[in-house]
Structure 1
Amino acid sequence: MPVRSPFSCVLWDVDGTIVDASEGILRRLTITLEHLGRTPPTRGELSRWIGPPMLDSFQVNVGMTPEQATEAVAFYRGLNKKEGYTVSARLYPGVGELVHDLHAAGVPQSTASSKPEVQVVALMDHFGLAPSLEAIAGASLDERTLATKADIVREALRRLEAVGADVSRPVLIGDRHHDVEGGADAGVPVIFVRWGFSWPHESEGAQAAVDDIDELRALLLVDDTADARTPAGA
């Protein structure tokens, strides 16, 4: 069945949207915070950590100073690099297939993730999604040079445009209010997915919100023959 997308390009958040890396994140946070004499989060508190830049999360969630947070991030990243960026990560059901189907339909795609870009590249390679992406954008390792969601979204669009993609009608797929706010700042509408680590109110401001992959697919890919089947004057 011929399909097309109402969007000229699709940007993807990664944590909580494409990939569930919560098991590894909780383990590394526990080790890091115990090492620094702080109380680690419970699994129920992970929504406070997954999505925002980690440098901000250590300050907001634990009350660290910027210097302490920088030390914590460095220790956390060291653990991540040692055990491997893809350990314990898994794809959310159906997302990989949708990425491939969008590519097959000729829709340019890029990640726009607050994870360090080196980790995003490793994950996209590991799950075989890289060949279906025209660009891979993530945060800088220092989470300062390229850190805010809006800046990462703009960078993803810049990279897509650099390879000749049409970026006139972009959409960002994400699961946190940071995605909604960052998309708005960059002038990109957001489709909010509810299978991540969000609270119900976080979808406010999104163009649409979906509960499952079928609902998302229906918004991103439409039957190209539908208009032809619609009777004149209907």
Structure 2
Amino acid sequence: MAAGDRRPAAAGGQRHPARPRPGAAPPALPAAHRVDRLGARPPRRGARLRPPLRPRARRGRGPLRSLRRHVRQRLDARLRRRRTRRRPAAARPRRRSRHPAADARRVRERGVNPAQIAAIAFDLDGTLVDSRYDLAEAVNRMRADFRLAPLPLPEVVAMVGRGARQLVTRALGDDPGEERLDGALAVFLAHYDAVATDATLPYPGISALLAEQVGRRRLALATNKPEGPTRRILEHFGWDGLFEVVIGGDTLAGRKPDPIVLRTIAERLELPTGQVLMVGDSRIDAAAARAAGAPFVFVEWGFATPEESAELAGEWRARDSAALRSFLAR
């Protein structure tokens, strides 16, 4: 701007107009300026010219979500390298269902299909009958004849399972020798024949289970007890007509866990061993079924010790006769 074009200063040497005093009316504006100012104001009623602001949805978590994307990516990579890796939590053991349908589902998953079972081979002692007291009585009578002290019941029960000869061998202790063992075995069998049915009783629900399965499947008995006392117990409870095949510890050249026992039962019933279910209470029964290629069900109410029961954790288990009946009914 040229020097001649400068505006004259206000009175008193002030170039700009003085500010209005408080309470004084503002100076009037030009008409055009007033119109533009009124048109820029939003209307008092109705919708606003600009919609209200809404908060953005959170797309990420953590304190870095408000930063730019490329900055977040760099910082996240650095933070990940500094983080300590956590060890995976140990898997919690699944709670075992006690429902019969769940039991049957576990059996099918382990290869035991109730629909494919055509025959059942039962063990006797510890599975169908509780014969602990009569066995302990015969053992202690035999020991008394040899001037030995009686054994407690749990100790005798732990010896049962591999046949009468093994039971007598364990009851005598050490190495009795063949001649003494033969004499002790004859004495034991004589005493047991006298007391075989004195205190022996079927387990709860077993009689109903056998009566229910007679019309549906073929039944057999596979035990290491001598065949003579075995048939006497069956006749005592009226079960002699239920089993088509009865094999004792002295019936064949071998006994459980030899697979000849279940294979012989399958041959006499004219069935494959895969359709003959072995039901027992010991690792001997499980080993016999495994060797013959037959399915196996472990009953928890028998003579098995806690250690032996833990070894059979992979087998299907029946906690009582009701659980076994619900499985066989499918």
Structure 2: runs of 5+ lacking an equivalent: 1-113
TM-score (norm 2): 0.59
Residues 1-234 of structure 1: matches in 2 within 5 Å? 5-60=115-170, 62-67=173-178, 68-81=180-193, 83=194, 85-105=196-216, 107-140=217-250, 146-151=253-258, 154-165=260-271, 167-203=273-309, 204-205=311-312, 207-222=315-330
Over aligned residue pairs, what C-alpha RMSD do you find?
2.3
Look up the equivalent residue of 1:150 and give its one-letter code: P
Structure 1: runs of 5+ lacking an equivalent: 223-234
Look up the equivalent residue of 1:219 and give its one-letter code: F
Change (3 A) 1:217 1:122: same
Change (3 A) 1:41 1:5: farther
Residue in 2 that maps onto 1:228: none
Please state how far the C-alpha of 1:50 moved relative to its aligned partner: 2.2
Change (3 A) 1:84 1:56: closer
Q: Which has the larger radius of gyration?
A: 2
**Following the alignment from structure 1 to structure 2, what is the Cα–Cα distance between the partners of residues 13 and 195?**
13
1:38-80 per-residue CA deviation (whole Å, 9 max, x = no partner) reads 3332012133222221212333452233413322211100112
Cα pair 1:13 1:113 within 8 Å, conserved? yes
Look up the equivalent residue of 2:190 and give its one-letter code: G
Change (3 A) 1:31 1:94: same
TM-score (norm 1): 0.81
| SS of the residue 1:150 aligns to | coil
Change (3 A) 1:154 1:198: same
**Following the alignment from structure 1 to structure 2, what is the Cα–Cα distance between the partners of residues 5 and 94?**
22
**Following the alignment from structure 1 to structure 2, what is the Cα–Cα distance between the partners of residues 154 and 218?**
30
**Following the alignment from structure 1 to structure 2, what is the Cα–Cα distance between the partners of residues 37 and 64?**
16
**Following the alignment from structure 1 to structure 2, what is the Cα–Cα distance between the partners of residues 73 and 147?**
18
Residue in 1 that maps onto 2:58: none
Query: Larger % of strand: which?
Result: 1
Look up the equivalent residue of 1:210 and give its one-letter code: A
Look up the equivalent residue of 2:208 and give its one-letter code: E
**Following the alignment from structure 2 to structure 1, what is the Cα–Cα distance between the partners of residues 122 and 325?**
13
Tell me whether 154-163 or 42-51 shows the greater mean CA deviation.
154-163
**Following the alignment from structure 1 to structure 2, what is the Cα–Cα distance between the partners of residues 5 and 11?**
16
